[in-house]
């Protein structure tokens, strides 16, 4: 059990993980419903309140009609329809503010009370700083779609998602560390360890770290799929347009330009990376499960990774085949966050053996 003095810190960090995960999913729904550009201004304080009068709604509607997306993707949108997309973006911005409060208020309270462990002060102080940066990055992303483009930059979208996941990973890792420290202080450990002393900790530390980073990059490749609306094309599996490599692949000059700006390439790469991820995850689980020296907690951690990876790929294929229904796509994104969390915990489980 964790030290009673660290329990409030663990609860705060766990709440941070949950709040970020929820905000990521809401952001995904906002993207899927083409709602992200419905609020054309960034007002960190006064923006908490939505339009409250008919005149305020008319003003927000008029500002939206002036941007390129309203004249293309949302051409002919009515005020009633505008309100529908407005509310999703407003909810997303409120969720982002809630994340900020969940992180900042407890942090400064713990800091003022001297309740932050000294070795963790620097790491935990990064959380409110990154949250502020995330808000600014969110507006930087939105601003990319307000003048010349009809949607936001896929590069900025990926950066926005990536920073949110970094915040979540820091909180999750620190929470796991506090729990582990509590177990160690009470003389607890992995009672089901199988000759843990002979377990190749260094090897599995490297494997786990690389796989966690890999998983993050695969998720970010999905952000490019979303940003380029690549999920709306080639809604078949396993072939794309009747071919393994889809028609239109490599049609832009240069590999990197094609990879990050060509919808066909973005979807193809995401498919390949996702399939590789589940194959490697299951293989690593089988490997560590077959070891007579692997501690039980490491085996359990990799079991969770393998199961979530398999579920995630299944959801991804179903989402694609069904034409990206919003509810299923949101679950797919939530499972991606859960998978990243599982890889982080798998990496953490190897430490301290």
Q: Does residue 309 share a domain with residue 274?
A: yes
Structural domain span for residue 82: 1-188
Q: Which of 284, 242, 41, 256 lies closest to 139 in space, CA to CA?
A: 41
Contact of 28 with 329, CB cutoff 8 Å: yes
Q: What is the rounded CA–CA span in Å between residue 163 and residue 280?
A: 25
Q: Does residue 279 share a domain with residue 169?
A: no
Of the three residues 156, 188, 220, the one that is the final residue of a domain is: 188
Contacts of residue 220, defined as CB under 8 A and 6 or more positions apart, other chains included, come to 158, 161, 162
pLDDT of amino acid 2: 55
Q: SS in 3 state form for 246-311?
A: CCCCCCCCCHHHHHHHCHHHHHHHHHHHHHHHHHHHHHHHHHHHCCCCCCHHHHHHHHHHHHHHHH
Q: What are phi and psi of 240, to 5 degrees?
A: -120, 110
Predicted confidence (pLDDT) per residue in 288-297, tens digit: 999 989 999 9
Q: Does residue 174 share a domain with residue 209?
A: no
Number of domains, the chain: 2
Q: Does residue 175 share a domain with residue 52?
A: yes
Predicted confidence (pLDDT) per residue in 41-84, tens digit: 999 888 899 999 999 999 999 999 999 999 999 999 999 999 99
Taking CA atoms, 74 is separated from 77, 78, 89, 226, 309, in Å, by 5, 9, 15, 18, 36
The three-class DSSP label of residue 44 is coil
Q: What is the rounded CA–CA span in Å between residue 294 and residue 312?
A: 26
Q: What is the rounded CA–CA span in Å between residue 13 and residue 10?
A: 5
Q: Does residue 350 share a domain with residue 201?
A: yes
Predicted confidence (pLDDT) per residue in 138-187, tens digit: 999 999 999 888 899 999 999 999 999 999 999 999 999 999 888 777 76
Q: Does residue 350 share a domain with residue 202?
A: yes
Q: Does residue 262 share a domain with residue 154?
A: no
Q: Does residue 230 share a domain with residue 265?
A: yes
Q: Does residue 230 share a domain with residue 262?
A: yes
Instruction: Characterize 114-123 residue by residue with b for buried, 16 or more Cβ atoms within 10 angstroms of its Cβ, and e for exposed.
Output: eebbeeeeee
pLDDT of amino acid 3: 62
Predicted confidence (pLDDT) per residue in 249-269, tens digit: 999 988 999 999 999 999 999
Q: What is the rounded CA–CA span in Å between residue 11 and residue 169?
A: 15
pTM (predicted TM-score): 0.93
Q: Does residue 345 share a domain with residue 304?
A: yes
Of the three residues 188, 217, 242, the one that is the final residue of a domain is: 188
What is the 3-state composition of the chain as percent helix, strand, coil, each rounded to the nearest 5?
Answer: 70, 0, 25
Q: Does residue 156 share a domain with residue 209?
A: no
For residue 196, what pLDDT band results from cuts at 50, 70 and 90?
A: very low
pLDDT of amino acid 185: 72
Interhelix angle 263-289/296-321, nearest 10 degrees = 150
Q: Does residue 141 share a domain with residue 12?
A: yes
For residue 18, what pLDDT band results from cuts at 50, 70 and 90?
A: very high
Q: What is the rounded CA–CA span in Å between residue 62 and residue 340?
A: 41
The three-class DSSP label of residue 55 is helix
Predicted confidence (pLDDT) per residue in 105-124, tens digit: 999 999 999 999 999 999 99
Of the three residues 188, 216, 239, the one that is the final residue of a domain is: 188
């Amino acid at each position: 059990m964790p030290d009673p003095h660290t329990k409030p810190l663990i609860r705060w960090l766990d709440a941070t993980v949950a709040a970020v995960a929820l905000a990521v999913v809401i952001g995904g729904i906002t993207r899927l419903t083409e709602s992200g550009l419905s609020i054309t201004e960034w007002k960190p304080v006064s923006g908490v309140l939505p339009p409250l009068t008919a005149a305020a709604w008319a003003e927000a509607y008029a500002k939206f009609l002036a941007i390129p997306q309203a004249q293309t993707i949302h051409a002919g949108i009515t005020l009633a329809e505008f309100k529908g997309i407005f509310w999703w973006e407003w909810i997303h911005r409120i969720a982002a503010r809630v994340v900020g409060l969940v992180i900042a208020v407890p942090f400064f309270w713990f800091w003022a009370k001297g309740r932050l462990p000294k070795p963790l002060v620097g790491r935990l102080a990064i959380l409110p700083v990154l949250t502020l940066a995330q808000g600014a990055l969110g507006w930087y992303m939105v601003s990319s779609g307000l003048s010349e483009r009809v949607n936001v930059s896929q590069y900025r979208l990926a950066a926005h998602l990536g920073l949110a996941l970094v915040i979540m990973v820091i909180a999750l890792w620190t929470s796991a560390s506090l729990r582990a420290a509590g177990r160690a202080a009470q003389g607890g450990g992995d009672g089901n360890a199988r000759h843990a002393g002979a377990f190749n900790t260094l090897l599995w530390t490297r494997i786990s770290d690389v796989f966690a980073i890999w998983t993050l990059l695969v998720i970010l490749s999905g952000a490019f799929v979303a940003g380029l609306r690549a999920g709306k094309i080639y809604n078949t599996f396993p072939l794309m347009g009747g071919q393994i490599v889809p028609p239109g692949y490599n049609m832009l000059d240069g590999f990197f330009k094609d990879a990050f700006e060509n919808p066909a390439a973005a979807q193809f790469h995401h498919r390949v990376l996702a399939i590789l991820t589940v194959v490697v995850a299951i293989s690593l689980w089988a490997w560590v499960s077959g070891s007579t020296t692997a501690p039980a907690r490491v085996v359990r951690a990799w079991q969770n990774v393998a199961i979530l990876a398999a579920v995630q790929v299944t959801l991804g294929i179903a989402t694609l085949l069904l034409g990206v229904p919003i509810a299923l796509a949101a679950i797919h994104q939530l499972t991606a966050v859960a998978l990243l969390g599982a890889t982080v915990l798998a990496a953490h489980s190897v430490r301290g053996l």
